[in-house]
């Protein structure tokens, strides 16, 4: 059973640029959630995708967008990058919304630095 894989592991972007982060969900999972973890903070919910549709969204502006593909993998896109977007971006897969004895399975994250 493979876990959640995220790519790239690190990247550096310039303010104003656009970035795409990728996530392959754990085998058997149909739901992907994205979280942003700023330094010294807990993960904050960005959005969740279920069956290729956005299933809920946190308090993030529209320049944060996503996709889920038929194989349940997912992308997070961020346009017009700002310095405050620098953070660890975590992808989590689950079967359903994540409530249950096992919660999410997280990937190792993508560390984004905006300069």
Partner 1 sequence: DQQVKQNSPSLSVQEGRISILNCDYTNSMFDYFLWYKKYPAEGPTFLISISSIKDKNEDGRFTVFLNKSAKHLSLHIVPSQPGDSAVYFCAASYSGTYKYIFGTGTRLKVLA
Residue numbers at the binding site for partner 1 (CB under 8 A) = 4, 33, 35, 40-45, 48, 50, 55-56, 58, 90, 92, 97-109
- Shortest distance (Å) from residue 95 CB to partner 1: 13
Q: Which is nearer to partner 1, 13 or 45 (CB)?
A: 45
SS3 75: strand
User: Do 110 and 7 form a contact (C-beta atoms < 8 A)?
Assistant: yes
- Shortest distance (Å) from residue 103 CB to partner 1: 5
* 68 phi/psi in degrees, rounded to 5: -125, 140
**Eight-class DSSP state of 69:** -
Residues in the chain: 115
- Shortest distance (Å) from residue 7 CB to partner 1: 13
* Matching residue, tokens 């392959």: 24
Q: Which is nearer to partner 1, 16 or 28 (CB)?
A: 28
Q: Which is nearer to partner 1, 50 or 95 (CB)?
A: 50
CA gap 63, 20 in Å, rounded: 12
- Shortest distance (Å) from residue 16 CB to partner 1: 29
């Amino acid at each position: 059973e493979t876990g959640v894989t995220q790519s790239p592991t690190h990247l550096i972007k310039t303010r104003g640029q656009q970035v795409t982060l990728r996530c392959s969900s754990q085998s058997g999972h149909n739901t992907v959630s994205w979280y942003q973890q700023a330094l010294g903070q807990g993960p904050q919910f960005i959005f969740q995708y279920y069956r290729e549709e956005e299933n809920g969204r946190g308090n993030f502006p529209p320049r944060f967008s996503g996709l889920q593909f038929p194989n349940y993998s997912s992308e997070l896109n961020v346009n017009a990058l700002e310095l405050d977007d620098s953070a660890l971006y975590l992808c989590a897969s689950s079967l359903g919304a994540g409530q249950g004895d096992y919660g999410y399975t997280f990937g190792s994250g993508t560390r984004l630095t905006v300069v």
